[in-house]
Each structure stands twice: as C-alpha cells, then as structure tokens.
Amino acid sequence: MANRHCLKRERQLTNGSTKSYESPEWLPDGNYVVAATAENMAVRGDARNPKLWMWHVDGGTGVQIIKEPGSRRITGPTPTPDGRHIWFAQRTNLWQ
C-alpha cells in the first residue's frame, strides 16, 4: 500500500498469517495507516476478536486503538481530515 507521500517506497507494516486486515486508510499526515483486524479470518472464515490498529510507516508493532469483546465486527475506519479522530462502523450481530 502506497500513499501520496512515498509512492515509490513499499513496506510491509503488518505480519501474522491468521489475521485479516480490512479497510486500511492513511491518516492525513501520511505517516500512519489505520485498519480493522480480526483473528482467524484466513483460517476459519469468521472474524474473531475484532480490533482497530494503527501503524507508523517506519514499522514497529503498531498501536491497538480499540478492542471489542465477542463477535462485534469493526469495519471501515476513516480518519477525520485533521487526523485527530477515527470514525468506524460496528455491528453486533447479523441484523443490526
């Protein structure tokens, strides 16, 4: 994934074969990426322990922003234009 500040430089920011990373978005400053994650998506086909994470482009372990219990699904993280807040959608079950 490349941003407008470093289109020629590619770098893997995440690792782990049993995690799914959804809806990655750059923060406005171009230094951070935020994404929803879930364990076991690649193995079982269902998302367990959904979380919201943020990674710096220089690498590192990342910062867990929010962790929700149970099967709540977090998706679509979107930073505000000033980068101070991150909006996201959350679903608690199939019909809500």
Residue 89, pLDDT score = 84
**Alpha carbon separation from 34 to 21, 26, 43, 60, 96 (Å, rounded):** 10, 6, 23, 14, 24
pLDDT along the chain (96 residues), means of 10: 55 63 88 80 54 84 75 81 90 62
Q: What is the pTM of this model?
A: 0.68
pLDDT at 44: 47
Percent composition of the chain: helix, strand, coil (DSSP 3-state, to 5) = 5, 45, 50
- Assess contact for 77 and 34: CB atoms under 8 A: yes
- Give the model's pLDDT for residue 75: 79
**pLDDT for the residue 58:** 83
pLDDT at residue number 82: 94
